[in-house]
Amino acid sequence: MNFLKKIPPIWLKVYRPVIYIMTLVLVWMGAVNNNKLNLNVADSTGGAYDTIENLGEIRKGTLREYEQKLEQRLQDGDASQAEIDDLKGIVEDLKHNEKGVVLICFDFDAGCDAEMTPQVATILRHCFSRGVKVLINTGGNVMSQPLAQQTIDKATKDGSRLDPPYPTMESGVDYVFLGFRPNAFQLYLQMGESIISAYETDYSGKDLSTMPIMEHIRDFRAIDCVVTVSAYVGAPETWITVGNAKFGKKVILGGGAIGASDYYPFLQSGQICGLLPGLRGAAEYESALKCPDIGSKRMWSQLYTHAFAIFLIVLGNIEYFFSTKKRKL
Amino acid sequence: MRNYLPPIICGVCGVIMMLHFFLPENTMLYKTMMEWVTNSTIVVGVFGLFIGLASLVHNHGNRIARRSPGWGYSVITLSFTAIVALTGIISQNVGPSVVSKPLDKYNYDNRKNQDHTLITHTLFGYKDETYKTNLVAAATADAPEMKGEEITVRKVPLFMFFYNYVIMPMGATTFSLLAFYMITATYRAMRAKSWEASLLLISSIIILIGQVPIEEIPLIGKWIMGHAQLIVYMSLILYILYAAMKQFFSRNFITCGILSASAALIGVIWYYTPANVDFEAMKSIILNYPNNAAKRGILIGVQLGSLATSIKILSGIEKPYMGGRG
Amino acid sequence: MELFTIKSLPLWLQYVNENWFDLNKLNALIGIIIFGSLIVYFIRRAKSGAYLFVRRIPGLESIEEALGRATEIGRPILYISGIGGESDMQTIAAMNILGNVAEQIAHYDTDLKVPCINPIVMTIEQELVKQAYTRAGRPENYKEDCVYYLSDNQFAYASAVSGIMVREKPAANFLLGNYAAESLIIAEAGASTGAIQIAGTAAISQIPFFIVACDYTLIGEELFAAGAYVSREPLLLGSLKGQDIAKLVIILIMIVAIILATVVSALLLKDGFVYGLSDFMNKIFDLKAFK
């Protein structure tokens, strides 16, 4: 029995490297596991999925609202010609792109790639598959651009894996990658006036005004939903302030699992309509879309490490229980 | 002048921004102020960049000059700052290209469905040109399975080489350290030292289990989740009975009786509750109710604190830009 | 029933709403006036010598202990004001504390290291520390390169700070300000060197990591109260008290609004005084109350 008494001091010296090695082994075991993972879709992810599915209806609702507003202003008789023309313009814009228009804010860099790229990639595939026009920008970080470009390149060619499948998407026609501009908050407000004047060119330098997709997406009112996948503190709040509070648009948030728990109050109050918490959110979205990809694959690593964490908590409490018992004696 | 000019500038700019918040958005004044604020922020930000660079060079330069411990790292820092900055600045279409590996294999289902793209890095500059070619030799060298297939070659600048192969992997590596630190922190910190710590422990276990499908773990997953209710209730009853026993031996019979009755009550509840414990539902309840309540409370307090700090700075009570209460 | 519509207002008010003042934000203006008045009132009370009670905050009580320990061991003190920019309230709160801490450090003649992620924050903190040393009567002890810039990349900064902690082994680490994912990396690196760590942030998701890895943690509002707590200046204490009273007012409004909303939904009211009052209470914090 003497050797049992030697375990605690030895364990205290070696527990860190043992835990690190076990974690590494479990992550590797998850990475090589190619089986499908069955996940239930939570309400937060379901809300995001349903919003993208129903973008057409949302757009029709917005069109009706502006038509009623135009009619009201015409009846009042005190509106200026500029206001009437503006309303007529937005009504005309909303009649096009009837499947909906989404703005995706790709706001993270390489560190958060593992959790958030699957979210953006899946949402992109969902939008392309349903014929939704997509504008993509990067929020506050210039380093997000190459990562965004890679993710877009992959998603535009992934059409055969979905049902219904989609052909290779064309930049300037089906989507446009706007890139980065400094001073995010002011930029988003400027997008309320004119997206083309805010950005002028897309990421590769082509003039936005020559692109077919931008013909009927002049300002924020022609966008139906904002999806922001952000790793930065304060960036989602900016979109909730600008996108939802100011422009009245549907906002979907994606982010890391840790940061996502901060946004459940906004989900409950209805300021956002969907929340993708980390890798689980991406995997749930892939389940909802019936297109398992890297999100579902990486969940195996998360599953094994979570189980290991639970085991360690139990072990730690048993250790604490016996050590307090010993101290009391 | 030095003492009163900065607070005046701070106060005036603060009042302008406050007035800007209250202006109707359709007015010309609002748009002009918005443009002014945007441009000023960009200009100040750019000057800040130079200050940062100057500080970096000054600091590391001093370390190299004095041969302080670790001065070799300063040499590496400064040289790579210069190299990466220069490769980003210098213009297009100068220098040879370097053929690198094909773009990767995220798609674990079927690589053949992918568009095969070879990335070549030009030494300087960026050119968005793609052309199809049958580079059999290159394909064979880098990816034998692509032999004979058509591939696309895209030229990207060397700056992207640093981004793709240095910055991205290093950023991902540093972020991934969090996983290891979190697990050791979980092991060290999640102990039932007090009732609040026990509450934290129980809610963290519920959320950990609810977050991942434990039943998918091979061999033991289904058994654990199938007997989750048994494990939870038995642990609770045994723990309460153990506490009751301790009270009995300390001659606190009333406390012992209360604890024993609680254990019996839990047994009755167990008998009448449905078969399985739905950890995902419990996780949602914890995240949607107590978590939201606590977060909202802290958020209101933090925002009020920010508001008070803003008022103190605008009114000149606190002057951090002048060295505190200068 | 809509109590507030633009059309129901007089014409001159509608003109003002369209050209000069957005009436939807009237509640914000009233809130600022009330809040500012409370602060001014309590500042005057504090200046007139009234005792204003502030509860004990363990993290702030231990600052002096941490500085003393660092002086005894002869190792430097590391102060990190987070990854926020110069306009971030948490960074400003951290800078306020830095001023007080630097003044105490000047008396002890201990080394202070302040690595920064933002160049503008770096220039402000340089001035702050210099002034602190001057106020303490030790301007000659101020070292030019004690406040320096590392990198504006979050993880590059975290790696650099971890490296500083492991190489220079500071005796006390102050981690105050806005933090994100790098909080645990920095805190665990500090914990592994055995330093005493005092952390504080209003970033709610990072608080658990600091609680786990640091000795003392300031949660949320305590970070903003720290400047007043440490310096005990009447102006700052008065504003802290005003802030607390404003919080109390908000809580009371929320309680009344909850009771009224419960009564309205339980009795299915659609009109009347109670309904109108409930609607008004619901719109108090709404920035789109006027349609």
Q: How many domains does chain B have?
A: 4
The pair of structure tokens assigned to C82 is 């987070």
What is the number of other CB atoms lying within 10 angstroms of the CB of residue B83? 13
List chain B residues with CB under 8 Å of C253: none
Confidence of residue C242 (pLDDT cuts 50, 70, 90): confident
Question: How many Cα atoms within 13 Å fall on the side-chain side of residue C137?
Answer: 2
Final residue of a structural domain among B130, B152, B176: B176
- Of C211, C201, C196, nearest in space to C180 by CA: C201
pLDDT at residue B133 in the model: 35
Average pLDDT (B303-316) is 82
Question: In the predicted model, is pLDDT for residue B107 greater than 60?
Answer: no
Q: Which residue type occupies B57? A: V
Quote the CA–CA distance of A115 and A111 in Å, as a whole number. Answer: 9
Final residue of a structural domain among B176, B204, B220: B176
Shared-domain flag, residues B51 and B122: no
Quote the CA–CA distance of A94 and A88 in Å, as a whole number. Answer: 10
Quote the CA–CA distance of C189 and B36 in Å, as a whole number. Answer: 43
List chain A residues with CB under 8 Å of B193: 320
- Of B323, B300, B21, B307, nearest in space to B315 by CA: B307
Asked, for residue A120, whether it belongs to a domain, the answer is yes
Closest CA–CA distance from residue C137 to any residue of chain B (Å): 14
Confidence of residue B119 (pLDDT cuts 50, 70, 90): very low
The answer to whether B87 and B68 are in contact (CB under 8 A) is no
Residue of C nearest to B189 (CA): C212
Q: Which residues of C140-178 are buried (b: 16+ CB within 10 A; e: fewer)?
A: ebbeeebbbbbbbbbbbbbbbbbebbeeeebbbbbbbbb
Quote the CA–CA distance of A209 and A216 in Å, as a whole number. Answer: 10
Domain interval for residue B148: 92-105+112-176
How does pLDDT run across A54-86, given as a tens digit for each residue? Answer: 999 999 999 999 999 899 888 888 778 888 888
Residue of C nearest to B55 (CA): C149
Average pLDDT (C245-253) is 88
List chain A residues with CB under 8 Å of C205: 258-259, 261-262
- pTM given for the model: 0.79
Asked, for residue B181, whether it belongs to a domain, the answer is no
Mutate to test the interface with A, among B21, B183, B300 (most CBs of A within 10 A): B183
ipTM of the complex, rounded to two decimals? 0.80
Distance between first and last Cα of chain A? 19
Asked, for residue B262, whether it belongs to a domain, the answer is yes
The pair of structure tokens assigned to B15 is 């009042």
pLDDT at residue A6 in the model: 59
Shared-domain flag, residues B163 and B151: yes
List chain A residues with CB under 8 Å of C181: 111-112, 231, 256, 258
List chain C residues with CB under 8 Å of B170: 155-156
Shared-domain flag, residues B154 and B206: no
Helix (H) or strand (E) holding A146, with range, is helix A144-156
Closest CA–CA distance from residue C205 to any residue of chain A (Å): 6
Beta-carbon contacts of residue C14 (< 8 Å; ≥ 6 apart): C6, C7
Lowest mean pLDDT among A151-155, B40-44, C168-172, C213-217: B40-44
List chain B residues with CB under 8 Å of A280: 211-212
How does pLDDT run across C32-53, given as a tens digit for each residue? Answer: 888 888 888 888 888 888 888 8
Asked, for residue B231, whether it belongs to a domain, the answer is yes
Q: What are A179's strand-pairing partners?
A: A137
DSSP result, C116-185: ESSHHHHHHHHHHHHHHHHHTT-GGG--GGGEEE--SSHHHHHHHHHHHHHHH--SEEEEEEE--THHHH
Mutate to test the interface with C, among A65, A232, A233 (most CBs of C within 10 A): A233
How does pLDDT run across C102-153, given as a tens digit for each residue? Answer: 999 998 888 999 999 988 899 889 999 999 999 899 998 898 889 988 888 8
A256 in C contact zone (CB under 8 Å)? yes
Question: Are the beta carbons of A232 and C180 separated by less than 8 Å?
Answer: yes
Place of tokens 């290159």: B138
Asked, for residue B198, whether it belongs to a domain, the answer is yes
Mutate to test the interface with B, among C155, C233, C237 (most CBs of B within 10 A): C155
Residue C175 φ then ψ, to 5°:
-115, 85
A261 in C contact zone (CB under 8 Å)? yes
Q: Which among A111, A112, A259 is the nearest to C205, CB-wise?
A: A259
Torsion over CA: A123, A125, A130, A133 (sign): positive
Closest CA–CA distance from residue A157 to any residue of chain C (Å): 32
How does pLDDT run across B195-225, given as a tens digit for each residue? Answer: 788 888 888 888 888 888 888 888 888 888 8
Quote the CA–CA distance of C268 and B198 in Å, as a whole number. Answer: 42
Shared-domain flag, residues B280 and B225: yes
Q: What are A69's strand-pairing partners?
A: none
Crossing angle for the helix pair C221-231 and B290-314, nearest 10 degrees? 40
Shared-domain flag, residues B165 and B197: no
Question: Are the beta carbons of B311 and C227 separated by less than 8 Å?
Answer: no
Q: Which among A16, A38, A305 is the nearest to B184, CB-wise?
A: A16
pLDDT at residue C39 in the model: 85
Q: What is the side-by-side order of every strand in the sheet holding B130-133?
A: B94-102, B117-124, B151-157, B130-133
List chain A residues with CB under 8 Å of C287: 245
Question: Are the beta carbons of A297 and B42 separated by less than 8 Å?
Answer: no
Q: Which among C119, C145, C181 is the nearest to B48, CB-wise?
A: C119
Question: Are the beta carbons of A233 and C288 separated by less than 8 Å?
Answer: no
Asked, for residue B182, whether it belongs to a domain, the answer is no
How does pLDDT run across B157-178, given as a tens digit for each residue? Answer: 677 777 777 888 888 888 888 8
Quote the CA–CA distance of C52 and C46 in Å, as a whole number. Answer: 7
Pick one of 3.40.50, 1.25.40, 2.40.50, 2.40.160 as the CATH number of C63-214: 3.40.50
pLDDT at residue B155 in the model: 54
Residue of C nearest to B316 (CA): C235
pLDDT at residue A326 in the model: 55
Total number of residues shown for chain A: 329
- Of C116, C136, C117, C135, nearest in space to C126 by CA: C116
Between B25 and A237, whose confidence is greater? A237
The pair of structure tokens assigned to B227 is 């007997």
Instruction: Name residues of chain A where pLDDT drops below 70.
Output: 1-7, 324-329
Chains that touch B (3 or more CB pairs under 8 A): A, C
Mutate to test the interface with B, among A154, A258, A279 (most CBs of B within 10 A): A154
Asked, for residue B54, whether it belongs to a domain, the answer is yes
Shared-domain flag, residues B294 and B283: no
- Of C57, C73, C66, C144, nearest in space to C105 by CA: C66
Lowest mean pLDDT among A184-188, B40-44, B112-116, C197-201: B112-116
Question: Are the beta carbons of B320 and C124 separated by less than 8 Å?
Answer: yes
A169 in B contact zone (CB under 8 Å)? no
Question: In the predicted model, is pLDDT for residue C175 greater than 90?
Answer: yes
Confidence of residue B301 (pLDDT cuts 50, 70, 90): confident
List chain A residues with CB under 8 Å of B288: 264, 268
Question: How many Cα atoms within 13 Å fall on the side-chain side of residue A152?
Answer: 25
Asked, for residue B183, whether it belongs to a domain, the answer is no
Domain interval for residue A283: 43-54+99-302
Q: Which of residues 209-268 of C touch B (CB under 8 A)?
A: 209, 211-213, 219-221, 223-225, 227, 231, 233, 235-236, 239-240, 242-243, 246-247, 250
How does pLDDT run across B248-279, given as a tens digit for each residue? Answer: 888 889 989 998 998 898 888 888 877 677 88
Mutate to test the interface with B, among C144, C148, C219 (most CBs of B within 10 A): C148
pLDDT at residue B131 in the model: 35
pLDDT at residue C4 in the model: 59
The most confident of the ranges A44-48, B29-33, B42-46, B229-233 is A44-48
Question: Are the beta carbons of B280 and A34 separated by less than 8 Å?
Answer: no
Q: How many domains does chain A have?
A: 1
Beta-carbon contacts of residue B59 (< 8 Å; ≥ 6 apart): C145, C148, C149
**Domain holding A47: CATH number?**
3.40.50
Question: In the predicted model, is pLDDT for residue B95 greater than 80?
Answer: no
Beta-carbon contacts of residue B119 (< 8 Å; ≥ 6 apart): B100, B101, B102, B103, B153, B154, B156, B164
- Of A201, A275, A308, A183, nearest in space to A238 by CA: A183
Asked, for residue A293, whether it belongs to a domain, the answer is yes
SS3 content of chain A, % helix, strand, coil (to 5): 65, 10, 25
- Of B165, B132, B130, nearest in space to B150 by CA: B132
Question: Are the beta carbons of B301 and C96 separated by less than 8 Å?
Answer: no
